[in-house]
């Protein structure tokens, strides 16, 4: 298979069409292709598609759920629809059954992470790990060439599945290395936003102006936005952060008013947004021939916002309140990044003067700092 746009031969699976055909997406430019109609769809059997999972019409489910009672069968089918078809492909019937039971249990417990855990376990299986033997998994984790943070995630997911099986193990300890986040330029962020579809562009503009996490943005409801005062209320903070208020631009208010208000929440779920973001990011990076855009993630907007706010105010506690951090230690990393970005660059200021108390109060309320007196005139300045 060759991409007709860029000539690449690297593709990844991107779900199915409503008629069951596999969709493929180019890893380089993001162009989508659809495979030719498969023979099983022309064999006279009728198939219906729900989510990413396929079942025959008229049947009560797959052979893996045919012996269950009605309520359990519905939950099992729901879990099969939640997980992609590829997650259960090429596995033994026993292991498929275990995965479905595990997904049903996680669903009943209120978790929605079963597809991600199963995907991790499939990676371990491809690396010749025996999920029944914890020592085999440990040896596989040692051989995997991945970051310690990735290995830590693999170990946590496997431990969750092992507890479901009734087993225990001494989980290996992996300490992720501390890395400095990638801080793009504002021009690069604007280029990326300009290449996105409308709703995704509005979301990314919101992330840029407020520095909220993507999960916090997805939890925003229409009632959380004060359109008259241009204020966003972050009432569902993540990671134990503090609730906060953020001002947004008038242009973003206009963009938000164009969106249809068909649901309580403004944006889609995090997983859906992540998939669309990755797809369009590749297209924009290929179109502009700028590989640096591929290093931008949804959380990069928060890193850029924090660094930019510190460059403006030079007040670490101000940035801490803006980000909702409870501990200033989490905010200090942005101070170090900002200082590195300023190395060798002269400070730029805006200067103002005041002749009376009224003018002085106006400048102080606008964020200007007192510098000195000159010929009975007070001089103020503020960083650009």
Give me 274's structure tokens. 């992540």
Residue closest to 48 by CA, chosen among 59, 38, 63, 37: 59
Which CATH homologous superfamily contains domain 186-341? Intergrase catalytic core (1.10.443.10)
List the domain boundaries for the chain.
Answer: 1-45, 63-165, 186-341, 349-383
Span 191-223, pLDDT tens digits:
999 999 999 999 999 999 999 999 999 999 999
Does the pTM of the predicted model rise above 0.75?
no
**For 321-330, which contacts have Cβ atoms below 8 Å and span 24 or more sequence positions?**
321/242, 321/244, 322/211, 322/244, 322/246, 323/211, 323/241, 324/234, 324/237, 324/241, 324/242, 324/243, 324/244, 325/241, 325/242, 326/240, 326/241, 326/242
Span 260-276, pLDDT tens digits:
999 999 999 888 899 89
Q: Give yes or no for a contact between 120 and 114, defined as CB atoms under 8 angstroms apart.
A: no
Residue 189: its pLDDT value, please? 97
| Least confident span in 5-14, 80-89, 101-110, 225-234 | 80-89
Span 33-52, pLDDT tens digits:
887 654 443 444 333 333 33
CB burial class (10 A; 0-12, 13-18, 19+) of residue 142? exposed
More confident site: 31 or 36: 31
Q: Say whether pLDDT at 302 is over 90.
A: yes
More confident site: 66 or 30: 30
Q: Say whether pLDDT at 30 is over 80.
A: no
Q: Say whether pLDDT at 90 is over 80.
A: no
Percent residues over pLDDT 70 in the chain: 82
């Amino acid at each position: 298979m060759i991409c007709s746009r860029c000539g690449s031969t690297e593709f990844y699976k991107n779900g199915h069409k409503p008629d069951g055909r596999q969709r493929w997406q180019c890893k380089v430019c993001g162009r989508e292709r659809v495979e030719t109609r498969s023979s099983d769809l022309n064999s006279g059997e009728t198939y219906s598609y729900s989510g990413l999972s396929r079942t025959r019409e008229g049947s009560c489910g797959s052979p893996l759920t045919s012996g269950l009672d009605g309520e359990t069968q519905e939950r099992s089918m729901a879990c099969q629809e939640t997980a992609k078809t590829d997650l259960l492909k090429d596995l033994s019937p026993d292991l498929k059954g275990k995965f479905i039971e595990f997904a049903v249990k996680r669903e009943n417990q209120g978790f929605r992470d079963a597809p991600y855990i199963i995907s991790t376990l499939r990676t371990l299986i491809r690396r010749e790990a025996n999920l029944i033997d914890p020592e085999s998994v440990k040896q596989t984790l040692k051989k995997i060439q991945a970051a310690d943070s990735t290995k830590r995630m693999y170990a946590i997911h496997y431990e969750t599945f092992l507890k479901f099986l009734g087993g225990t193990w001494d989980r290996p300890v992996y300490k992720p290395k501390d890395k400095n986040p990638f801080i793009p330029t504002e021009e690069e962020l604007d280029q990326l936003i300009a290449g996105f579809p409308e709703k995704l562009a509005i979301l990314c503009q919101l992330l840029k102006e407020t520095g909220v996490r993507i999960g916090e943005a997805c939890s925003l409801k229409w009632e959380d936005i004060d359109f008259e005062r241009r204020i966003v209320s972050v009432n569902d903070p993540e990671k134990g952060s503090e609730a906060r208020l953020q001002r947004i631009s008038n242009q973003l208010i206009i963009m938000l008013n164009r969106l249809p208000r068909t649901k309580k929440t403004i944006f889609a779920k995090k997983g859906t947004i992540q998939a669309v973001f990755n797809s369009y990011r590749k297209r924009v990076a290929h179109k502009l021939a700028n590989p640096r855009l591929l290093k931008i993630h949804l959380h990069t907007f928060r890193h850029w916002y924090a660094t930019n706010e510190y460059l403006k105010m030079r007040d670490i506690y101000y940035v801490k309140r803006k980000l909702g951090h409870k501990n200033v230690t989490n905010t200090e990393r942005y101070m170090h990044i900002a200082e590195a970005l300023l190395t060798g660059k002269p400070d730029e200021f805006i200067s103002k003067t005041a002749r009376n108390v009224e003018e002085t109060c106006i400048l102080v309320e606008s964020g200007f700092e007192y510098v000195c007196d000159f010929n009975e005139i007070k001089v103020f300045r503020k960083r650009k």
